[in-house]
Structure 1
Amino acid sequence: MSLKAVLFDMDGVIVDTEPLHRKAYFKTFDQLEVSVSEKLYTSFTGASTKRVCETLIGEFNLSHSYEDIAAIKRSYFKDYFYNDEEFDLIPGVRQLIEHYHENGITLILASSATMTTINMVFEKFGLEKYFSGKISGADLKESKPHPEIFMKAAEMAGEKLENCMVIEDSTNGILAAKRAEIFCAAYKSQHSVNQTYDLADVVVSDYDELVLDKISAYF
């Protein structure tokens, strides 16, 4: 048994787009002239844009269609994505990706984000050359915590499950990795809220902890 492939989640692991989504949503609320409380906004966590828009329409009796609201939000998000000074890769992740790549580890991206967002991130930060494949959960029948995305990622890497490692940051992602019976490293950042890491095989707050020398004991 040895580590041959690493399957990366994206949001919260490679980049953190949550602050951008938040800014884009609040700009949208301003444009729609609705006042969304923190409590209501928090209830949107993990929900699709469609569900958020439909909730707003119902809650504030809006005459807009969900497509209209989604389009407004999307344009604000895009603007922040390309122009927000604070938006960057999560500290240490580029070095970790390069380290695995240089050591012949196959890298696959397995994210619930849409392929459009995945490609935007890969293009902006020049990550394409390191990864052998990308899977968007938006294109799959099942979503995390269902293991489908990681089973497919391991298959794409052409490696046995016991030779793979998943890097995740969410309860559902960790659960999906465990259900796929793949070793899971949980990344816990200062932004991580209300996530449970009990099921992860190893929990780190610094990517330096996941270099090959330090995790070789597990494989």
Structure 2
Amino acid sequence: MKAFIFDLNGTMIHDMEYHTRAWHSLFNEDLGGNFTWEEVKPQMYGKNSEVLVRMFGPDRFTEAEMDRLSFEKERRYQEEFRPHLQLLPGLTDFLKQAHDLGIPMAIGSAAIPFNIDFVLDNLNIRHYFKAIVSADDVVLSKPHPETFLKAATNLGVPPADCIVFEDVPKGAEAAQNAGMKAVVLTTTHEAFEFATFPNVLHFAADFTDSFMQTLL
């Protein structure tokens, strides 16, 4: 038995630039920050509230303010990314092949349901996934393994039999902490940034990489 667990942003779709752009404008234009692109990009992981705390400290915003800012950030992201929304090359066929082979699949993402629904429903791929774990479903974000462990539990598959698809070091670390192997999509980070994670099986630009077929 084996199962596939997919991160979403940067792994299934190439959209991290648009998330960074939305945060960058919100931080600087709305919240009076003076952050460079290089300062914002490494913070693109975890829940939106965690991003806000990392950038502005724990006492700047109330929970209600963070909820409002989080929604506004996602609204801007979706508005700008919508014309470019598509799966990474080769992923459409990979999902169909895995589904036809009966390989259970899940999404394990720090995205909120609003963004996960945006992708799954606009691309009509929800039917491929037996489980979806979002930011709203966990207490602790990646690199804590809760997201991936919950996905494995929902699929009914032992963690050791799950392969995680990720694009960021914190995601690969979360997979390692969950006892799972990982395949890294190099959409947003380079291979050397994952040097400390022995659980990484392979690096690929997209799902047309021949290694993907060996997983099926």
Correspondence for 2:174: 176
Which SS does the other structure have where 2:184 is aligned? Answer: strand
Unaligned runs of 5+ in 1: none
Query: CA 1:91 to 1:53, structure 2 compared with 1: closer, same or farther past 3 Å?
Result: same
How many aligned residue pairs are there? 206
1:76 CA drift (Å): 1.9
Aligned equivalents of 1:56 and 1:183: distance in 2? 31
Correspondence for 2:149: 151
Aligned equivalents of 2:168 and 2:98: distance in 1? 22
Instruction: Give the letter aligned to residue 8 of structure 1.
Output: F
Q: From the CA coordinates, give the structure whose radius of gyration is larger.
A: 1
1:91 CA drift (Å): 1.7
Query: CA 1:43 to 1:153, structure 2 compared with 1: closer, same or farther past 3 Å?
Result: closer
**Normalization by structure 2: what TM-score?**
0.77
Aligned equivalents of 1:68 and 1:176: distance in 2? 28
1:142 CA drift (Å): 1.7
Query: CA 1:75 to 1:112, structure 2 compared with 1: closer, same or farther past 3 Å?
Result: closer
Task: Report % sequence identity.
Answer: 22
Aligned equivalents of 1:31 and 1:109: distance in 2? 32
Correspondence for 1:18: 16
**Is 1:199 the counterpart of 2:204 in the alignment?**
no
Aligned equivalents of 2:54 and 2:106: distance in 1? 34
**Normalization by structure 1: what TM-score?**
0.76
Aligned equivalents of 1:169 and 1:76: distance in 2? 22
Aligned equivalents of 1:79 and 1:118: distance in 2? 15
Correspondence for 1:79: 79
1:21 CA drift (Å): 1.9
**Is 1:105 the counterpart of 2:78 in the alignment?**
no
**Where does 1:14-163 land on structure 2 (aligned, <5 Å)?**
14-28=12-26, 29-30=28-29, 36-42=35-41, 44-46=43-45, 48-50=47-49, 69-82=69-82, 85-163=83-161
Aligned equivalents of 2:160 and 2:151: distance in 1? 13
